């Protein structure tokens, strides 16, 4: 039994961003063995050609280790920026008037170009404009079709093309830019497993991405705009997973509002049975230091106690000096938290009521039977992955072995809490199902002879969405002798 085919000892997943510090085949494999369950490719940096080798390296590792690997392509989304200044920079003084207009002439301490006409149509008196990641704050006092007059509430240095955030209004901009459409087509051609969509403000923003993806990848919505919070339930319904993008949330909202919103987003996703990723600055100090701060460790632990499906590293693994150590630290925190006797109680603070369906009822029953009958694992057969998601929503205390005939499904499940997905041939009969479940439980070391395991599937077989069987079996003798794949 290789380490690669054994399940992780923790259930929370680790999503590692790849970049200059971690894009070689050797480094990617090191990150996997350190604990990375999935890999994020940030389309904001570098060109498409540079991504081809990275994706090939991940798929090469998948073939070498015999384990499905998960790739998430994160689209950049619209980037709002001011224009240029005479001399490259200026100083905004608190209390003065500053105008953003459509004039392309270089700006100064009184005005600058704002090359986004959509903002002029949407802005309202009293709305805030945040510049340079929130370092400077402007308050709108007047506006028309060509200019926005503001009062500088927090001044400071401002240079060319600095970013602009508009937290108080919904900006009528599509979530996909021309660059995003090109990157999306590229990512789909490269057969990535997840597409992360930035700048989501409303559920309608997901529609175009869905249309372009056409089922070739799963869709993750990044929750980074205050307007997205207002329609959170609808957004979660329209996507396959969500990300708590705390960086942008922390720019557009007071930082003290982010922790309760994080809990709300995680709870909403969990109730709907959608994977949820907590991201941004989780181990920020490890970009330059070999160990994190105690506060960072506590932050990661809190996300795990809340029941997040995955925790993400950004610059720590992409461009930092300690990428492998950062992943290993995430892995160690996950193992430590999940070994806490109180962990099981805490992750069930969120009540996940089953929908009135047979599949949901069986998933809840599987969790309860596993605890009552001291089963060693829950084993599910799935084509689309929906059965696995239902089981994971219940956060069972035992491992979940997911058997699927579709490699695409196995790869996408790399973001799902507790799922150890295996790509394997489909079963033909009830007897075949039971025999394969036993063999796979032994082969992947989630059970041993004498153990009980719970098997879930749908009959007739090969019918997506037909989960209607729950079977408790005991493994007797050496079931591996008849292993057939």
pLDDT tens, residue by residue, 20-42:
999 999 999 999 999 999 999 99
- What lies within 8 Å, CB to CB, of 234 at 6+ separation is 202, 203
* Parallel, antiparallel or unpaired: strands 136-143 and 128-131: antiparallel
> What is the spatial distance between Cα 55 and Cα 50, in angstroms, rounded to a whole number?
9
Per-residue pLDDT, averaged over 226-235, amounts to: 95
* Parallel, antiparallel or unpaired: strands 147-154 and 136-143: antiparallel
Indicate the range of 14-23, 185-194, 399-408, 464-473 predicted with least confidence. 464-473
308: phi then psi, degrees, rounded to nearest 5: -60, 145
433 vs 96, higher pLDDT = 96
Instruction: Collapse the DSSP code of 194 into the 3-class scheme (helix H, G, I; strand E, B; otherwise coil) and give the result.
Output: strand
The pTM of the whole model exceeds 0.85: yes
Burial environment of residue 385 by CB neighbours within 10 A (0 to 12, 13 to 18, 19 or more): buried
Q: Tell me which residue of 230, 298, 300 sits closest to 265, measured CA to CA.
A: 230
The pLDDT of residue 484 is 37
The pLDDT of residue 357 is 86
The pLDDT of residue 3 is 52
pLDDT in tens, 295-350: 999 999 999 999 999 999 999 999 999 999 999 999 999 999 999 999 989 998 87
Q: Tell me which residue of 150, 152, 151, 114 sits closest to 135, measured CA to CA.
A: 152
Query: First and final CA of the chain: distance in angstroms?
Result: 15
> What is the spatial distance between Cα 453 and Cα 464, in angstroms, rounded to a whole number?
23
pLDDT in tens, 343-379: 989 998 877 777 788 888 999 999 999 999 899 999 9
Per-residue pLDDT, averaged over 215-225, amounts to: 97
Per-residue pLDDT, averaged over 130-137, amounts to: 94
The pLDDT of residue 462 is 67
* Parallel, antiparallel or unpaired: strands 400-404 and 377-381: parallel
Answer yes or no: are the C-beta atoms of 321 and 28 closer than 8 Å: no
- Counting residues of the chain whose pLDDT is more than 90, the rounded percentage is 86
Per-residue pLDDT, averaged over 439-453, amounts to: 92
19: phi then psi, degrees, rounded to nearest 5: -165, -160
Tell me the H-state helices in 142-293: 178-189, 205-213, 226-230, 232-238, 246-252, 258-271
Residue 112 pLDDT > 90, yes or no? Answer: yes
Beta bridge partners of 81: 163
73: phi then psi, degrees, rounded to nearest 5: -100, 120
462 vs 20, higher pLDDT = 20
> What is the spatial distance between Cα 166 and Cα 169, in angstroms, rounded to a whole number?
6
User: H or E element: which one contains 439?
Assistant: helix 430-443
> What is the spatial distance between Cα 326 and Cα 34, in angstroms, rounded to a whole number?
9
pLDDT in tens, 62-108: 999 999 999 999 999 999 999 999 999 999 999 999 999 999 999 99
> What is the spatial distance between Cα 107 and Cα 100, in angstroms, rounded to a whole number?
9
**pLDDT, mean over the chain:** 93
Helices 178-189 and 48-65, interaxial angle, to 10°? 30
The pLDDT of residue 461 is 72
pLDDT in tens, 231-245: 999 999 999 999 999
Q: Tell me which residue of 8, 15, 10, 12 sits closest to 243, measured CA to CA.
A: 15
């Amino acid at each position: 039994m290789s380490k690669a085919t054994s399940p992780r000892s923790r259930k929370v997943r680790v999503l590692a961003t790849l970049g200059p510090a971690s894009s070689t085949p050797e480094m990617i494999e090191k990150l996997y063995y350190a604990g990375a369950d999935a890999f994020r490719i940030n389309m904001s940096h570098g060109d498409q050609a540079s991504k081809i080798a990275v994706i090939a390296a991940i798929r090469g590792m998948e073939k070498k280790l015999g384990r499905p690997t998960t790739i998430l392509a994160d689209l950049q989304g619209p980037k709002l920026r001011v224009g240029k200044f005479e001399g490259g920079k200026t100083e905004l003084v608190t209390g003065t008037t500053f105008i953003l207009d459509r004039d392309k002439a270089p700006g100064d301490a009184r005005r600058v170009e704002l090359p986004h006409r959509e903002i002029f149509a949407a802005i309202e008196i009293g709305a805030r404009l945040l510049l340079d990641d929130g370092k400077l704050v402007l308050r709108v006092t007047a506006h028309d079709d060509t200019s926005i007059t503001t009062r500088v509430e927090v001044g400071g240095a401002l240079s060319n093309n600095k970013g602009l955030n508009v937290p108080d209004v919904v900006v009528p901009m599509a979530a996909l830019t021309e660059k995003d459409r090109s990157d999306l087509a590229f990512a789909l051609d490269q057969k990535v497993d997840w597409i992360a969509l930035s700048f989501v403000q409303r559920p309608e923003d997901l529609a175009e991405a869905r249309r372009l993806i056409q089922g070739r990848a799963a869709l993750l919505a990044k929750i980074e705009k205050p307007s997205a919070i207002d329609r959170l339930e609808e957004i979660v319904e329209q996507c396959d997973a969500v990300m708590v993008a705390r960086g942008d949330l922390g720019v557009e909202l007071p930082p003290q509002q982010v922790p309760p919103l994080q809990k709300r987003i995680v709870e909403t996703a969990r109730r709907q049975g959608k994977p949820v990723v907590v991201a941004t600055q989780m181990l920020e100090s490890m970009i330059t230091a070999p160990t994190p701060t105690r506060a960072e460790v506590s932050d990661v632990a809190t996300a795990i106690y809340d029941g997040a499906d995955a925790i993400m590293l950004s610059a720590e693994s992409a461009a930092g000096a300690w990428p492998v150590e950062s992943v290993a630290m995430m892995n160690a925190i996950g193992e430590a938290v999940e070994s806490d006797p109180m962990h099981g109680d805490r992750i069930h603070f969120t009540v996940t009521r089953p929908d009135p369906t047979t599949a949901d009822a069986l998933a809840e029953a599987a969790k309860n039977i596993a605890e009552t009958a001291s089963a060693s694992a829950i084993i599910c057969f799935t084509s689309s992955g929906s059965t696995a998601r239902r089981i994971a929503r219940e956060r069972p205390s035992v491992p979940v072995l997911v058997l699927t005939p579709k490699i695409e499904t196995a790869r996408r499940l790399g973001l799902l809490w507790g799922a150890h997905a295996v790509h394997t041939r489909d079963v033909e009969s009830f007897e075949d199902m039971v025999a394969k479940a036993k063999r796979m439980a032994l082969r992947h070391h989630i059970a041993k002879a004498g153990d009980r395991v719970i098997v879930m599937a749908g009959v007739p077989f090969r019918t997506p969405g037909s989960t209607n069987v729950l079977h408790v079996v005991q493994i007797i003798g050496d079931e591996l002798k008849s292993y057939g794949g």
